[in-house]
Structures are given as C-alpha cells and as structure tokens.
Structure 1
Amino acid sequence: MAGETQDKGWLNQLLDEPGVRMIWITNSISAIAGSVMRRFAFSIHFRSLNRRQRVSMWKSTLRRHHAKSGFNSEEINRMAIRYPVSAAIIDLSIRKALETSTPGQAAFKKAVTMNLDAYLTLINDGIKPKSRETIEDNYSLEGLNVGENLPTVMENLKEFDHCLRRSDRHAIRNFNLLFYGPPGAGKSELARFVAGHLERELVVSRASDVISPYVGETEQNISRVFADAEAAEAVLVIDEVDSFLFNRSHAVRSWEISQTNEFLIQMERFQGIPICTTNRFEDLDQASVRRFNFKIGFRCLKPKGNIIFYRKLLSPLTLAPLKKEWREMIENIGDLTPGDFRVVRDRFAIFPQKRVTHGMMVQALQEESRIKKLQEGKKPFGFIQRN
C-alpha cells in the first residue's frame, strides 16, 4: 500500500470491484495514500488498552488459563498500572510462566514480571524503562499547607468522576484544576494522589514533551496529548503549564498566541480531569486562569506540617525517639516544603538506622532552609536595565 514507485491503480481497482469482501489489518495508516483509504466502506481504530481495560484483561486471561490464584485484585491493579501492554502480551507472559511454575507460587509471579520487563526492554531499544509515575507509599493530605479545603475538592472530584464513568456524557462540563506554588510544595504528588484516589491512570506531560521547533507542530502535540489522555481515561497532568499559558499581551510572535489558544481549546473540550501545575502563577495569562474550576495554592509548611512530614519521612531513619527539644527545633525551621524532607530522607536513607541521628537530619533541614533564603535574596548577574 505504501510503495512510492509501484502503481496503486491495481489496488484501487481491486477495492472497487463489486461484491468483494475483505478485512484489512494494519499497525499504522501514516503511509497509506488517501486515495486508498477513502475506498474502505468501514474502519475501526483500536486504541491501546487503558488501565481499567487492562485490569479486566488480566482477570479474564488468568481465568482462561485457570490461574486465578496467581494474583489477587490488588496485585492485578498494580500490574495494570506498571505494565501498559496489549492483551496479547499479557496472555503470552502468563502462558510462558505456566510452563515453569504453578499459580499461587512466588515463582509464577516472578516469571510473569520477568517476561513483561523483558518485553518492555525489547521495545525500548534494550533500555529498561523507568518506573511509571507512582505516589509515596505513606502519602496523605495531612500537613500540606494549601489555600483550598482539600477534602471538599476531593469530594467534588469524586462526583465528577462518577459523571465521567456514566454512559450518558452529554451533560459533562469541565473540571480543570490549577496547582500553583513554590517548588517541592507537593503539587505533583497531590496530582498522583488524585489519580490513585479515583483509580485512574496518570499521564504526565511536560513542556519538553510537547514544544517543537517547527511551526504548527506544537499545536498538534498539544491536541495529541489531550486526545491520548481522554482515550486512556486518565488524569492528565500538565507540568510547567506557564510555558503554554503565559501572558498573551507579552507575545511577540503569532505562534506564541496560537499555542496558548490551542491549549485552552483542548482543555475546554477535554472530557476528563486535567491538572496543571506551575511555580510561576504570577506569569500566567489572566484570561487563562479563569478557565480553572479550582485554583489551589501551595505554600511552605506550617510548624505543625514540619512535624508531620518529619515523622512520616525522617523519623523512621533513626532508632532514637523524637524528644521535645528536637520537635521545637523542627517547628522553628521556616520555608520548608515536603520536597525538602524528601531530599534529606534520600540523603540519609542509605545509612543504617544506628548511624543516623535526629541532630544530623535537623541540621540538614536547617541548611535547606538557609540555602532557600539565600536564593530568594540573591542579586542578579550580568547587565541590568535601568528605567
């Protein structure tokens, strides 16, 4: 079909023959000529399975191979998130695992996982893919310093999610979320929590994934990102949204305006849950900000929040109890975000518990706070334009 030199007249004549009944299958239509495509009386586009469909496929495949005991419901859900593969690959992995092990044994799960990892590495040019976006195991909303009532927002999200899942979708409106605040304040982590809470897949798209040096291609990429997320029934997270929704009054080229317009059009048409995050709220286009149902501002932690995140992330790293004097020192450290606690945790998590003390970790948090204050008060380098 896609040959450049071969005459397609014979193919068009074949498709035009009366009484011909044929089913054509292809993995891509990008190279098929338009004169050929318009001769098909009917066509079906098979999209990749979304998370909910993969869960269903796992259950039916295990049942068909009499291997229901191989994975419980929670494990199936994790496998569906971790491995975005087709039904054929799920079936192949289970069949091959059954050749060497019995369902219910650890060896069976290990074999299935090994087969799937090998497949993903194969189609990724021999490079093992990084793990998909996941949330902290002990994550909770407690301790975050946000401007909105998060339980109310989560309740509204749950109701909107029910509307999306109903078959009657004509009455669906937008539910656009904007998370803004300093780096490390918990914006991306809350977005992951939302996806997990709603039992939906998470699709994260960054400016570097979308912006193209060619005129018009960025707009196409924006459209594709929204379309793919809607087909996957996923929560769509747009990181660094200020790259698209900057103040249009400052635009100097027509394509800068067209990119913002395309983004707003796609967000308005999107039948799903888009979450946009930014560290630069003040740079956003004012008309764009009005399109968001909820604008949730993240701030540095309060003293109580410091203690909550310290207990969750840092206390488990040491055997010593958290005494009153350490609690008071932790409460008095300013300008901390959840991200600062993760940085300190990753620094000390490699050591045995007996080697880590509260003093070491408190000092590290104080240093993070000190550096942040230095950055906020730093002077610019280079030439400065004077008014």
Structure 2
Amino acid sequence: MTRTMESRRMDGMTTLEQDLVHLARMALAGRSQDVQMLLQRMARRYSRSNEAIGEALQALLRDAPSADAPLRGLGNAAPVPLDMDSRVPLIRPDHLAPSITPVLSGSVREAVDQICDEHLGRDRLLKAGLSPSASALFVGPPGVGKTLVARWIASRLKLPLLVLDLSSVMSSYLGRTGGNIRKVLDYAKASPSILLLDELDTVAKRRDDGAEVGELKRLVTVLLQEIDDWPASSLLLAATNHGDLLDPAVWRRFEMVIDFPLPDAVQLRKALEQYSERDAPDDVLTVIARALALQGASYSEAHRVVTSARRRAALAEQPLKETLLSACGEQLRQLPFAERVRLAVDLVQSDHMSQRRVHELSGISRDTIRDRLRRQESQE
C-alpha cells in the first residue's frame, strides 16, 4: 500500500514532534475530548523522560483550558446568560451552604464520597493518566435529598454551584431553546464549577415519545453533545424524579448514576434529630419516624412536620416537645388502625418503651397492646 505524504513527513520526527503534530490536528478539528486524552497520555509518558514537560502538562490538565472555556482557572467574569425573549437569567448561582449533613443510604454515601475523593485527588489521577468523573445523574422521588447532596458536594469541593433554571431555558420560540442550553453550559464551562441540571426529564425526554414535537427531540441531541464535551475539571450533576422518561442515550452519557431511595425509619430518625436541633424527646422522634416510614415519606416531608411543630411552639410559647407530641398523634392518625396497633406492639418490644408511654403516643389502649402481646407469645 502506498504510504501517504503525511506519513512520509512524519518519518524522522521524534516522538515529541509527532505528538505535537497530532495535537495540532485534533485542536484544529475542534476535537477537545481527543486533545485532552492525548495530553493525558503525553503527561504520563514524558513524566518519566522529561519531568519538566510532564509537570507542565499535568498543570494544564488540572486547570483544563479549552477553546470553549478560555477563562478556566481565572474565574468566570462573563455576564450571566439571559434568554433573548424574556431577558430572564438562564442560570442562578446557589450560595446556600448545607446547614446539616445529609442522611444518606450506604450506597449513596459511598458514591458521593467517591466523586469527592476523585476531584480532591485529581493530581494523583492525572499522574496515572486518568481524570475524575465529570458527570453524575441523581435519580429518585422528590424530597430525598438530591439538591442537598449537590450543595454538600459543592461545599466539600469548594466550588460554586450553578443551577439551571429549566423553566427559563424553555423558550417560547422552541428553536432558541437549544441555543439557551448551549449558552448555559458554555458559561458553566468557563471556570471550575458544579452545574446542576434539575428536573432533567423536562428537556431530555425519550426521542421515541410520539407526544413530543421534533424540536424538543432535537434538544436531546444538543444535550448529549454538551455532556460529551464536559471538562473533567468541573462537575456536571443532573437530577430527575422520573428516570423512566429519560432518553436511554442520556443514561449512557453520565459516568455515574446514583439512585436515591426513600428513607427508612432509621434514616428518618437521624434526619428528625437534625431538624429539631436535638431539642425533642427521643421516643417522640422514634414514633414519628416509624409512622412516616410506614407512609413512604421523604426527608422533605419529615422536615415539614418538624418545622410546623417548631412554629407552633414559638407562637404558643410552648416547649417543642409539646407540639411534637401533637404532631406525633397527627402522623399516627393517618395510619390504618391495624398499622397503628402493629407499630405500638413493636415499640413496646423493640424500643423498650413502657406500655403507658406507647399508649400516650399512639392512642392504642394498653389493653389492646397487652392482648396482642399475649397472642404473639402464645403463637411462639
């Protein structure tokens, strides 16, 4: 086979000179991801033979400069992008630091810790020719802590959190919505940051959904292209309450997918302690947590119960435990009678509460509790 003129020109070049030619070709073609991968290989290769070049390339990768983000590492001085029609900001900085540590299941905490460890240990990854995860998808019902975890990650990584306002991105002129999304993501790429795409299913619906118009389907393609080009020096987070609505290709683009389940009674109990600032009787919180868990409640619903009790306590100038007792009764009354009886018996058996205290909290008579206990003992 006849050799190409370019391959003949490469003869006689050193490895470094050949890498520079490949790098220039990729840069001119706008292939930013390929450029970053080649630089990673070069940094790893030359760190052994030319320490100065290796360290310089690692520094560049750490700050991840690109044609799309010339201000990376220098701070984002660009104005916040606006929708051309409404002049409403398309993105908003979220400066709310988490006031509590999120209560998470073991699998969620492990995944979140891995994301933080990768970004905090970026230098070690770069030396090994690797880069930290650039994107993660949070999937779960409302109120399970997806936004709180995004704030927690931003706090741990000391990066600004930017939140995409999907209601403003969806322009009245559908043809402009794709441009709005690009403007938002380009702005977020301009300096190290965390971008949260909340309610991702609003714009990333399945492309085989016959109810959607062609323009909305094209938005999915725009979004996929932007996710593919996301720099590893920043973090792209997306959250959805309806994972079944997402286009399958969207799932594959995210490096990590984290499922947020509804909390169990133990997790709700820990959350209630934080919400009440540990100013409530343990047994009352235990009963509320168990009742909420039986109802399939989320953290936001547990927070609502405690906040309402604290407001009533402040207005009536009562101790919080009094209004929480009332809240406890309200939660229990939402359970079917059979569920309340089972809960009352279980509290006596497992939490070492007296029958009198369980009766006060649950409203189930002590005679009923004793009768159920005798039945269980006879069956054993």
- TM-score, length basis structure 2: 0.56
CA distance in 2, matches of 1:369, 1:254: 46
SS at match of 2:196: strand
Match of 2:99 in 1: 137
Match of 2:249 in 1: 287
The 1:131–1:214 alpha-carbon spacing in structure 2 relative to 1, beyond 3 Å, is closer
Q: Give the fraction of aligned pairs with identical amino acids, expressed as a percent.
A: 20
Match of 2:153 in 1: 194
Pairs aligned (count): 248
CA distance in 1, matches of 2:113, 2:197: 19
The 1:205–1:365 alpha-carbon spacing in structure 2 relative to 1, beyond 3 Å, is farther
Match of 1:111 in 2: none
The 1:355–1:242 alpha-carbon spacing in structure 2 relative to 1, beyond 3 Å, is same
Give, as a single letter, the amino acid of the residue that structure 1 aligns with 2:302: F
CA distance in 2, matches of 1:297, 1:362: 30
CA distance in 1, matches of 2:123, 2:179: 25
CA shift, 1:326, in A, is 5.2
Identify the match of residue 307 of structure 2 among 346, 350, 362: 346
CA distance in 2, matches of 1:274, 1:189: 15
The 1:171–1:222 alpha-carbon spacing in structure 2 relative to 1, beyond 3 Å, is farther
CA distance in 2, matches of 1:299, 1:367: 25
Once the two structures are superposed, the pairs formed by residues 269-284 of structure 1 within 5 Å of their partners are 269-271=229-231, 272-284=234-246
- TM-score, length basis structure 1: 0.55
Give, as a single letter, the amino acid of the residue that structure 2 aligns with 1:262: V
CA distance in 1, matches of 2:335, 2:180: 39
Check the 8 A contact 1:340/1:365 in 2, yes or no: no
CA shift, 1:304, in A, is 0.5
CA shift, 1:134, in A, is 1.0
CA shift, 1:215, in A, is 3.5
Check the 8 A contact 2:273/2:285 in 1, yes or no: no
Tell me, yes or no, if structure 1 residue 158 matches structure 2 residue 150. no
The 1:46–1:337 alpha-carbon spacing in structure 2 relative to 1, beyond 3 Å, is closer
The 1:255–1:269 alpha-carbon spacing in structure 2 relative to 1, beyond 3 Å, is same
CA shift, 1:175, in A, is 2.4
Check the 8 A contact 1:336/1:369 in 2, yes or no: no
The 1:237–1:368 alpha-carbon spacing in structure 2 relative to 1, beyond 3 Å, is farther
Check the 8 A contact 2:118/2:133 in 1, yes or no: no
Tell me, yes or no, if structure 1 residue 362 matches structure 2 residue 317. no
Tell me, yes or no, if structure 1 residue 256 matches structure 2 residue 207. no
CA distance in 2, matches of 1:262, 1:85: 22
Match of 1:310 in 2: 272
CA distance in 1, matches of 2:257, 2:93: 30
Gaps in structure 1 of 5+ consecutive residues: 1-44, 55-83, 87-129, 371-387
SS at match of 1:274: strand
The 1:145–1:360 alpha-carbon spacing in structure 2 relative to 1, beyond 3 Å, is farther
Q: Which has the larger radius of gyration?
A: 2
CA deviation profile, 1:260-298 (whole Å, cap 9, x unmatched): 100111111011211111111111111211111221111
CA deviation profile, 1:294-338 (whole Å, cap 9, x unmatched): 21111211110121011110254x5x5323x65245324321211
Give, as a single letter, the amino acid of the residue that structure 2 aligns with 1:259: L
The 1:166–1:145 alpha-carbon spacing in structure 2 relative to 1, beyond 3 Å, is closer
CA distance in 1, matches of 2:150, 2:159: 11
Check the 8 A contact 1:145/1:300 in 2, yes or no: no
Tell me, yes or no, if structure 1 residue 336 matches structure 2 residue 302. no
CA distance in 1, matches of 2:153, 2:319: 36
Give, as a single letter, the amino acid of the residue that structure 2 aligns with 1:313: Y
CA deviation profile, 1:126-150 (whole Å, cap 9, x unmatched): xxxx99441331223x3x247x352
C-alpha RMSD over aligned residues: 3.7
CA shift, 1:354, in A, is 2.9
Identify the match of residue 144 of structure 2 among 155, 179, 185: 185
Gaps in structure 2 of 5+ consecutive residues: 1-67, 80-91, 337-380
Q: Which has the higher helix share?
A: 2
